[in-house]
Each structure stands twice: as structure tokens, then as C-alpha cells.
Structure 1
Amino acid sequence: MNREIISDKQGISIVAIFIAGTSSILSLGLDAEKDVWLAITLSIIMGIIVSLIFIRLHLIFSDKNLFDICEICFGKFIGKIFILLFTWFSFEEGSQVLINNSQFIRDTALPKTPMIMPRIVFLILCFWAVKEGIEVIGRWSSFFIVPFVIFVFITVLLLVPKMDINNILPVLDKGINPVLKGAYSSFTFPFGEVVMFSMIFSRFKTKKSYYNVYILGLLIGGICALLLSLSTVLVVIPTEALQKYYSSYDTATRIDIGDFIQRLEIISSLVFVIGGFIKISILLLASCIGISKIFNFSDYRFIVIPICLLLLNLSFIEFDSRMEFVDWNNSGWLYYTFIFEVILPVIVLIAAEMKKHKRCP
């Protein structure tokens, strides 16, 4: 299978947009209410700690992705079981992101459009990106990262007149438990999802690049997500924000400066669409690479169309409504993802360290 090389800037851009894209319409850590800023900060730190696991794996096995490492550490049979688990996680997560994106488009802009239409459009774009490879996705991300960050800061700055500092005071008013709950939910989505990058990243120009891509990318994306979520809580009281499906988007609709600057929620929508495109593309790419590894295909590109069709089908099977989707993400998802984002990577790291110790006594 071809090993594509991307630059540090491209890798950082992919990670940052992947992490922050969804937060343009969905606020993170709202379980912490007034202390949302503290919860997200903790979740970023947790994401960095998990990122160090994958950086270490890349350093032990240079030019290898997570799927290759699983097979090296556990052998053909058990290794393929691990590969299958990680592939399923990326595939199922791709379905959920597709559901989230299409539901947002229908709910806010095209209420009479059949749900299948936005999903097909998204998948056609993502099919093209994955077919072209990680290098094209990287170039596309590096081109959009600057306007992406600018759009985030413009949204935050225009909301300043609507902000009330009392919405986040006093600090730790309800104790540490809500903060920990909010930090954990923010970690599982999106910061713990850095596991996806270990499936598609295998080669960079230098060893230092792994630190740059994972850590800087996560920090840039995390800061954008923090600013958007904090702005939501400063503008809207936390209890009201919790009642919204698209809390950050609803907050952006309140931008109104002198009856001249209005209706700028389109910026949030644009940031979300850019982030959704990158996220689905990365998840689809990880799924295709994983399936190719399971069946020992020399290249993943010829199975992109079948995987896209399977992803489309799964998106209609999983959930019947937005309410059901949100309920799952607020309950079972929090425990389900921990297996793939923490437990399995730790097991792989332990096996990798043992393998390295045997090779270098």
C-alpha cells in the first residue's frame, strides 16, 4: 500500500479542522454549565495525554499506521481482530457524523428536502477526496485552515456585545463533579477521536513532526472549540443552551450590531460544513485503509465506492430521529467510545513496548 507523505502544516490543519468543525454548531462541555471553560480545558489536556500514546507508537514503529502496528504486535489473527475493531469504530463514527451533518442542513436550511440528498452530496465530495488520497485532503485543509480560524474569531468577536460575564460566575459554583462530567463528554467527542489520525498517518518528514501535528493541531482545534462554547455560555445561560440541539448555531443567530450586521449564522454553518467534509473524509479513509488491511488488498481506492454505499445505508439504519441520536450521544456513546479511544490504544502501547524491549534487550 502506498505511503503518502504530508507536511506538518497539512497534518496540523487536518487535525485542527477535524476537532473544531462540529463545535461551530454544537457547544462542548455544557454538563459543566458555568464552568464549561474549565471542563473543555481539562478535556484538551486529556486529549494531549492520549495523543502521546499514538506519538509513541509512531516513534516505535516508524512509517507504520495503527493497523500495521496492531498486526506487528499481536500477529496475523489477533492483530486483525484489533484492526476490525478500530475499523468498525471509524466506520460507525463516519455514519454518525454524516447523520449529524445532514440533519443540521435539513433542520436549518432545507426542511422539505429528503434526508438522502444532503447525505449523497456529502459522500460524493468525500469519495473524491478519499480517492485522491491523504495528500489532497492535506492540501485542501492547509488552504482552508486560515479562513476557518478567522471565521471562528469573527463569530466570537461579533458576539462580545451580547456577552454577560456573570453567566460563568462564580467558578465551581456546583462543585467539581459537573466539571469532570463535562470534561469527560468533551474528551470522548471530539478530543479522544485523535485515535482516527493514527489510522491514516504513517509517515512525516521528521520524528518531531508527530508532536507538531498531534499536539499543535489539537491545541488549535481545542482553542477554537473552547472559544465557541464559552461564547455560547456567555451569551445564553447554560440551562437554556442545554435545551438546544444546535446551541452554538443558535447563539450565532443573535449577532445584531446596529441593525446592520445581522444573520451571520451562515459563518457557523460554513465552518461546520468545512469541518464535516474533513471529518467524514478522514473517517471514510480510515475505514477503507482498515478494510484493505484486513483483506490484504494492495490499495484501498477501489473499495471507496462500496464503503460509501455501506456508510449511507448505516446512516439510515442507526437512528430514527434527531432525539434518538442525541439521546445515544449523551448516554451510551460516552462509555462505548472509551473502549476505542483509551482502553484499546493502551493495550496496543503496552504490547508495542514489550515488542520493542524484545527487539532491543
Structure 2
Amino acid sequence: MNKEMITTKQGVYLLTLFMIGSNLFMGLAPAAKSDAWIAALMGTLMALPIIFIYARLLSLFKGRDIFDILNLVFGNVLGKIVALAYIWYPLHLGAMVIRDLGEFFNTVAMPETPMLLPMLFLGFLSIWAVIAGVELLGRCSKIFLPIVVIIMFITSLLVIPYWNFAHLKPVMYDGIGPVLNSAFDIFSFPLAETVLFLAVFSALKTETSIYRVYYSGLFIFAAIGVLLTLRNILVLGGDIVSVVNFPLYVEVSRINIGEFIQRIEVSVATTFVITDFIKVSVCLYVTCIGISKLFGLKNYRSIVVQTGLLMVLLAYIMYENIMDMIYFAFEIYAYYALPFQVILPAIILVIAELRIRTGQLHIGKKY
């Protein structure tokens, strides 16, 4: 069977859509209020070193994913133990994103629809995509990102009459503390979540610069994130942005131009589904790859359906209500995810560099 491959452009688009996920729709750095756009910029700067670590690992171990790297660096036994962390993390993250969509439909878009229905819809759609392979996700990303950008651009033009620049003042009224805390939240959710692409970008074509792909995706997302965060603040104000659950949807719902252009928040719901689909599919793909490597399965596709349904079930039972979801996302998640996103990758890179330089580890290309 031929190895699945994705191009540079597909990799950048896939990474960007993954980072957009549900994050922009839940709002970036709500605790920073009118300074959220500053927090978004600072979070991007915080992400630069960790993105370098991810790219360095993939450049050292060309053609290998995180589970192959763990086996080479730590050995068969310890490598499999650490691999459990990178099986659990994408499983849990995918469940979180599925629940985000379920809560969105249940509380805002379609409150009379049982929450489980949109969650099952997203789960089955992701199962189909992962069975089709990472190449399909790459091709989908080339179609979906322009659609998402066009929708965001059009809605941005339509909300211009509602802008109020007074909402941007005062700058850092509460000091730099809330901005730094919010920047760390953005760093963790979603920028450092791209650690999962250590299991995806082994499929990049061999001539591709992994640094270029990672940093291009990061800067595209940063531009979109800062602009949309500014837009939310200009329209709603920092105080409202900090308390509503889906500020982007609330903002667009205000559009009413000449009684002709109105009720276009369905466009936001569409982009929400698209980006969540990509993010859940990546999480499901990484989970299945990890399980197949852990148990020596010949093909990860044999466990996609079971794993996908498990992810939906976890999403359904993980929170009591939307307040539990918001509390975990903005108060706990950044610290919970730190070992997966920062500590383990840094340890892996340090040990790999030491073993390579001392001649204990010899790496051959794997394609």
C-alpha cells in the first residue's frame, strides 16, 4: 500500500483550520476583555519556541510520526508507555470539540434539537473522513479554508456599521496580568495543540520544509484570530465578549441592513461545523494511528469506527452542562495540557539531540 501524502499547501491549510476549530467561535481570551487582541498577539509570540520544537523533531525524524519517534528515543517499553499520553490527549481533545459543537447547537443555534444529534453527525462525518485517509483531509482543507475566509470577510464588511472604537479603551485598564494569563490560554488553546501534527506531518511530501508549514499556519491563524477578536470587541465591547459563550455568533446575529440582509448567523454556524469537522478528524486520526502502533495493528482503519463512537460517548458524558465546559476550557485546560504540549516534546527533543550527537541513535529516512 502506498504511503498517504499531503502537499505543503494542504498541510498549511489543514493546520490553520485545525487551530481555528471551535476556538474563535468560543472567543479568544475573553478574560482579557477589550485587551483580548493584545493577548492574541502575545500568545502567538509565546508559541514560536514550542512550534520550533515540533518542527525540529519532525525534521530530525523525517517520514516518522510521534509514535515512531517515541519508540526510537525511549525504546520499545518506555516508548509505548509515553505513547499512551499521545493516545489519550487527542481522544480527549476531540471529545471536547465535539461537545463544543453540541453545546453550540443546544444553547444557541437549535435549542429544541437533542444535543446528541449534532454530536453524532460530526462523529460519523469524521469517522468517514479518517477512514478515507489523511489525503482526503488535505484536499478538503484546500476547499474549506477559502470558504471560511470568504464568510469571515463578508461578515466583517457587514458589521462595519456597528463598530465602536470606544470599546477598545482603556488599554490594559486592569494591568498586564489578565493579558498575560489570557495569552497563555491562547498559547495552549489552540496554538500548542498543534503538537498532534507530529503524527500527521509524517505524511508531508519529502521536499517540504516542515518549519515553513508550521510557521505559515501559525501566522495565518494569528492574523485571522487577531482580526476577528478585534471585530468582536468593536461590535460587542469587552464586557459582553467576556460573558457570552459564542461571541462571534452573537455579533453576526446583530446584522440587519435595510430589513434585507439579516439572520445571516447561519454562515457562522456553517464555518463552526467545517472547522470542528477538521479538528475532530485530526484528533481521531492521531488517536487511531497511536492505537494501531501501540498494539501492532496492520491498518489503523480497522479501529476508526469504534474509536470515533468512543469519542462521541466521552463528549456526551464529560460535562454536566455548558458552564462546566466553559470552566474547564478557560480555567483548567491550559495546565492540564501543558505536559502533552510542552514538557514531553521538550524532553523528547533534548534526549534525541543528545543521543544523536553522542552516536547512540542513528536515524535513517523512513518513507
In the alignment, which residue of structure 2 is the partner of 1:31? Answer: 31
After superposition, give the CA deviation of every residue in 1:107-166 in whole Å (9 maximum; x if it has no partner): 223322222211111111111100011001100111121111111122222212111112
Query: What is the distance in 2 between the residues matched to 1:107 and 1:311?
Result: 21
Structure 2 CA distance for aligned equivalents of residues 100 and 332 of structure 1:
16
1:238-277 residue CA offsets vs partner (Å, 9 max, x unmatched): 1222111111211111122233221221121111110000
SS of 2:172's partner is coil
After the TM superposition, which residues 76-87 of structure 1 pair with which residues of structure 2 at under 5 Å, given as runs? 76-87=76-87
Q: In 1, Cα distance between the equivalents of 2:225 and 2:211?
A: 20
Task: After TM superposition, list the pairs within 5 Å mapping 1:214-253 onto structure 2.
Answer: 214-253=214-253
Residue range with higher mean Cα deviation, 192-201 or 204-213: 204-213
Secondary structure in structure 2 of the residue aligned to 1:113: coil
Aligned residues: 361
Residue number in structure 2 paired with 1:138: 138
Comparing 57-66 with 249-258, which one deviates more in the overlay?
A: 249-258
Tell me the alpha carbon deviations over residues 252-311 of structure 1, each in whole angstroms, 9 at most, x when there is no partner: 111222332212211211111100000000000010001111111121000001101211
2:33 is paired with a residue whose SS is helix
Structure 1, unpaired ranges of 5+: none
Q: Which amino acid in 1 is paired with 2:245?
A: Y
The residue number in structure 2 matching 1:350 is 350
> What pairs with 1:99-248 in structure 2 (closer than 5 Å)?
99-206=99-206, 208-248=208-248
Alpha-carbon RMSD: 1.7
1:24, distance to aligned residue in structure 2 (A) = 4.4
In structure 2, the partner of 1:91 is 91
Task: Provide the TM-score with structure 1 as the length reference.
Answer: 0.96
Task: State the one-letter code of the partner of 1:67.
Answer: F
User: 184-193 vs 172-181, which deviates more?
Assistant: 172-181
Shift of 1:360: 8.2
Structure 1 residue 192: Cα displacement: 1.2
> Following TM superposition, by how much is the alpha carbon of 1:2 offset from its aligned partner in structure 2, in angstroms?
6.2
Instruction: Give the superposition deviation at 1:219.
Output: 1.4
* Alpha carbons of structure 1 residues 357 and 207: separation in structure 2 relative to 1, 3 Å: farther
Distance in 1 separating the partners of 2:93 and 2:23: 16
> 1:341 maps to what in 2?
341
Give identity over the alignment, percent: 36
Matches within 5 A, 1:255-274: 255-274=255-274
- Residue 182 of structure 1, CA deviation: 1.1
Q: Out of 130-139 and 257-266, give the one that drifted further.
A: 257-266
Q: In the TM superposition, what is the alpha-carbon distance from 1:90 to its structure 2 partner?
A: 0.5
| Runs of 4+ residues deviating >3 angstroms | none
Q: How do residues 267-306 of structure 1 correspond to structure 2 at under 5 angstroms? A: 267-306=267-306
Alpha-carbon distance, 1:208 to partner: 4.4
Distance 2:44 2:142 in 1: 22
Conservation of the 8 A alpha-carbon contact between 1:158 and 1:255: yes
Change (3 A) 1:355 1:300: same
TM-score by length of 2: 0.94
Instruction: Give the 3-state SS of the residue equivalent to 1:330 in structure 2.
Output: helix
Question: Counterparts of 2:96 and 2:286 in 1: how far apart (Å)?
Answer: 15
Deviations 1:90-111 (A, max 9, x none): 0001111111111112222332
Q: State the match for 2:44 in structure 1.
A: 44
SS in 2 for 1:273: helix
* Alpha-carbon contact 2:199-2:286 (below 8 Å) kept: yes
Q: Which residue of 2 aligns with 1:15?
A: 15
CA distance in 1, matches of 2:24, 2:73: 39
> Which amino acid is 2:111 matched to?
P
> Which amino acid in structure 2 is aligned with residue 29 of structure 1?
A
Q: CA deviation at 1:227?
A: 1.5
- Contact persistence 1:23–1:229 (CA under 8 A): no
- The one-letter amino acid of 1:187's match is F
Q: One-letter code of the match for 1:346?
A: A
The aligned counterpart of 1:329 is: 329
Cα separation, 2, equivalents of 1:56 and 1:24? 28
Deviates more, 1:297-306 or 1:204-213: 204-213
Mapped contact 1:87–1:286 kept (Cα < 8 A): yes
Q: Give CA deviations for 1:18-43 in whole Å, capped at 9, x if unaligned.
A: 11232442210122222111110111
Q: Residue type matched to 1:143 in 2? A: I
Distance 1:103 1:28, change over 3 A: same
Distance 2:359 2:297 in 1: 28
**Pairwise CA distance, 1:330:** 2.0
Query: For residue 22 of structure 1, what is the amino acid of its counterpart?
Result: S
